[in-house]
């Protein structure tokens, strides 16, 4: 019985450790640099759910790794305008394609789904209003920001 | 015998989980020189050929970006539209005779048809 309780505590601790623990959007908002007029910005984020928390695959933008999908985490990437391709590789690769305009900001949410053997992480393009609202509860997991 | 049945059931589940690529054909977009703006009056629900369901909410705003052989191409300016199969693609609405007949995929430069077109009530927004 004690062993079972210990295992339960250990797994809960592991799940909590798997969640993003950086500063909230409100704390870093003023440190996020202004977007250059010649570029667009993509925010990547994931809701803070315990489901599949241990699954934190890399996120690739146009074939280049730009970060990881962490529960409750967000980061952003500034990119040249044009076609964009986001991929996340877990059991299967799910691709998202969209366009990015100069001066435009877009929001990509990664979500957990369930495959045959393991969970999968799907990228999804969301409305800006939804993305802005959901980012408020997320923790920053990107590159250090200058104060 | 029992284990064989379980294995077969597993294979069936695996095959069902493998979504097909979104059906599409290359299409050339002719840009609109003087784009008009529209607003959708009522919400519309439609089902993609991949069986994913989508809803276009009332008051979704569109700007006419051009036309393709299948109809006028309208890009939503306050909502994201995507089509989904094996992958997810940003999509613009393709409208003909007041009906949503498919989607223009701007990255793939392709038209993806909607097998069951739905009526759209669009009101043109006059610029001041």
pLDDT value of position B9: 45
ipTM metric:
0.84
Is residue A95 less than 8 Å (CB to CB) from chain B?
Answer: yes
At B4 the pLDDT is 53
- Å from B65 to nearest chain A CA? 14
Q: Is 80 exceeded by the pLDDT of residue A49?
A: no
Report whether B31 contacts B54 (CB < 8 A): no
**pLDDT at residue A7 tops 90:** no
The residue with greater pLDDT, B69 or B4, is: B69
Nearest residue in chain B measured CA to CA from A123: B88
CA of A84 vs chain B CAs: smallest distance (Å): 8
Which of B107, B41, B43, B97 is closest to B72 using CA atoms? B97
Residues 6+ away with beta carbon under 8 Å from B59: B39, B40
Residues in chain A with CB shorter than 8 Å from the CB of B14 are: 116
Taking one residue from A and the other from B, the number of pairs with CB-CB distance under 8 angstroms is: 47
Looking at the complex, does the CB of residue A99 fall below 8 Å from at least one CB of chain B?
yes
* Nearest-CB residue to A99 (from B10, B86, B106): B106
Strand, coil or helix: A46: strand
> CA B2 → CA A136, B6, B8, B10, B14, distances in Å?
51, 6, 10, 12, 19
DSSP B21-83: PPP-EE---EE-SS--EEEE-S-EEEE-TTS-EEEE-TT-EEEEEEEETTEEEEEESSS--EE
Do B90 and A99 make contact, defined as CB atoms within 8 angstroms?
yes
Residue A63 CB neighbour total at 10 angstroms: 7
Report pLDDT digits (tens) over A82-104.
999 999 877 778 899 999 999 99
Q: Which of A63-77, A110-124, B11-25, B87-101 has the lowest mean pLDDT?
A: B11-25
- Contacts with B107 (C-beta within 8 Å, 6 or more apart), sequence order: A83, A84, A85, A97, A98, A99, B89, B90
To the nearest whole Å, the CA of A14 is away from the closest chain B CA by: 30
% pLDDT > 90, chain A? 61
Per-residue tokens: B41: 């009056």
User: Distance between CA atoms of B18 and A81, rounded to whole angstroms?
Assistant: 32
């Amino acid at each position: 019985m004690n062993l079972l309780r210990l295992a339960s505590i250990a797994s809960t601790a592991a799940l909590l450790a798997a969640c993003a623990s950086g500063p909230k959007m409100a704390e870093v908002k003023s440190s996020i640099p202004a977007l250059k007029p010649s570029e667009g910005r993509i925010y990547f984020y994931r809701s803070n759910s315990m489901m599949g928390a241990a699954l934190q695959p890399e996120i690739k933008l146009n074939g280049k790794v730009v970060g990881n999908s962490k529960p409750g985490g967000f980061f952003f990437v500034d990119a040249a305008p044009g076609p964009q391709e986001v991929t996340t590789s877990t059991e299967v690769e799910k691709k998202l394609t969209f366009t990015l305009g100069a001066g435009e900001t877009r929001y990509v949410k990664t979500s957990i789904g369930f495959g045959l053997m393991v969970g999968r992480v799907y990228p999804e393009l969301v409305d800006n209003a939804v993305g802005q609202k959901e980012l408020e509860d997320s923790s920053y997991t990107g590159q250090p920001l200058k104060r | 015998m029992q284990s064989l049945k379980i294995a077969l059931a597993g294979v069936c589940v695996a095959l069902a989980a493998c979504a097909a690529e979104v059906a599409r054909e290359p299409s050339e977009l002719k840009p609109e020189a003087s784009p008009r703006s529209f607003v959708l009056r009522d919400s519309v629900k439609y089902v993609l050929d991949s069986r994913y369901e989508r809803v276009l909410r009332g008051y979704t705003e569109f700007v006419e970006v051009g036309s393709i052989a299948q109809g006028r191409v309208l890009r939503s300016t306050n909502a994201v539209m995507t089509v989904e199969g094996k992958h997810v693609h940003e999509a613009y609405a393709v409208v003909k005779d007041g009906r949503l007949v498919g989607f223009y995929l701007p990255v793939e430069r392709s038209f993806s048809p909607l097998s069951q077109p739905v009526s759209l009530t669009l009101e043109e927004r006059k610029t001041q």
